Structures are given as C-alpha cells and as structure tokens.
Amino acid sequence: MNSSYENGKKLFQETDEAGIQGVITGLSDVSPHISRYIIECFGQLFSRPVLTYQQRETVVISALISLGDTPNQLKWHMNFGLKVGITPNEIIEMATHCIPFCGFPRVLNAVGVAKQLFAEQNIEAHIEDELLHHVEERRQRGLAKLREIDGEHGEAVADSLADIAPLLAEQIIDFTFGEIYSRPGLSAKQRQLVTLGALTAQGGCEPQLHVHLHAAVRAGLTREEAIEALLQCSPYTGFPKVLNAIKVAKEIFVTH
C-alpha cells in the first residue's frame, strides 16, 4: 500500500479504529476500493501540516452541515471532531455560524444530529444566549464587526443592496454580524474556517467566497491556511466546487 493509505490507517487506529473498521466491513462486499479511497484521502490530507486536526474537522463539519443531506457522515465527523479536541460547545457554535450561509432548516437538522450524538455519549453542551439582553445594540455591534471582519468588501456588499433590498442589507448587518459573528463561542479564525467550508459546500457562492477569503486573512489565517481549508472540502463536496473556490483564491492571492 502507498504512504497515504498507511498514514490514513494510522490516523484511524489512533482516533476511531472501530468506526473505520465498520466502514471497511460495510463496503467490503461490493466496493472495497471505496474504503481504500477514504483511507487514502484521510492519510493525504491529514498528514499535511498546514492545518491542525481540529481546524480540518471544523471545515469538514461545516461543509457537511451546509450540504444538509449527509446526517450519518455529519454524525461521524462530529464524533471525530470530539476525538481530536473540538468541544461540544464549539460544534453547536459551528452549526449556529452556518445559519446565514445555508439557512435554518439545515442547521436545525445538524443540531438534531449533535443532540443525538451527545445523548449517546452522555455529553452536555452548555450554550447560552449571551446577546439576549443586548438586542438593541446589534446594529452598532454589527457595523463594528462588519468593518473588523470584512472591511471595505463587506461594506460594499451592504451598500450595493441599499437601493433594491435594504431589508437584506439590514439583516446582513444586524443578524449575521450583530448576532452570529458577535457570539463568543468561536474565535475569528474558527469562524472564517466555518464560513469557507460552508460556502465551498454550497457551490455557486464565488462572490461571497471572494469577500470571505479576504476576511479569512483579516481574521488571522494565512493564505496557505485559507487555501488548505478549501482543499479539505474536496472529498466531501467534490472537485468541481473546490475547483471553483480555488479559482477565486487564485484571483485574490496570485494575481494581486
């Protein structure tokens, strides 16, 4: 076997040997090659030092939440995330952060998957509505956070909506930045990893990826880390969506 396979096998032995053995057994009768591909992908991606295991699983969990139709795989990766150091609270915050990018129904489904996983393992998540008593401040908070995260790119998006969909501009400022981005459960870098995973999984969000790749660098990710986050999506979203995302990254990071 090649080195990627051996690296992947070692990773699974260290983190979830029973889980991957179940995958291998389930595929052995009709498609044993797919289990090899899975192990090789893990071995190839996770052996790259650009992102930590926690960062990689942050991207994967967010991409699967955004896809919305992979509950079994989402549960597996939430569990894998716990094994590599992501906290239960962070998993719920990742789901919460996906709301502006993939909508409430997919996030509600993801929270249901997390609740099932936590119940099976007797895990408690302690999430609070920290901003409940500060709703009246969210416009000011949202404008400040928009400038902090997206800079002129975010303000340009909001301004472009003023004459045709001012309500949408208000929602982006008040809800996305005044509420979601202002919650304390994730760092700015974690939030941008979630955003990159969610937008890549959605597909067709290249203008938004353009804004949020800039935001990722503003939040403290290096260009290499931001690109690696896009690459991490390929086994879960497919190559076409990642190719489109990489094209946006190339426009930003290579030609400018």
pLDDT digits (tens, 9 = 90+) for 26-83: 888 889 999 999 999 999 999 899 999 999 999 999 999 999 999 999 999 999 999 9
pLDDT of residue 143: 87
pLDDT digits (tens, 9 = 90+) for 126-160: 888 988 888 889 989 988 988 888 777 767 777 78
pLDDT of residue 200: 98
Residue 50 has phi, psi (to 5 degrees) of: -65, -40
Q: How far apart are the C-alpha atoms of 21 and 195, rounded to whole Å?
A: 31
The tokens for 25 are: 């057994």
Q: Which residues have a Cβ under 8 Å from the Cβ of 153 and sit 6 or more positions away?
A: 210, 211, 214, 215
Helices 53-67 + 32-46 axis angle, to 10: 130
Which of 37, 55, 35 lies closest to 46, judged by CA? Answer: 55
pLDDT of residue 1: 62
Higher pLDDT, 254 or 195: 195
Which of 14, 5, 10 lies closest to 32, judged by CA? Answer: 5
The 3-state DSSP class for residue 160 equals: helix
Helices 223-232 + 206-218 axis angle, to 10: 140
Q: How far is CA 219 from CA 86, 122, 150, 213, 216, in A?
A: 20, 34, 9, 10, 5
pTM, 2 dp: 0.93
The tokens for 86 are: 């992501």
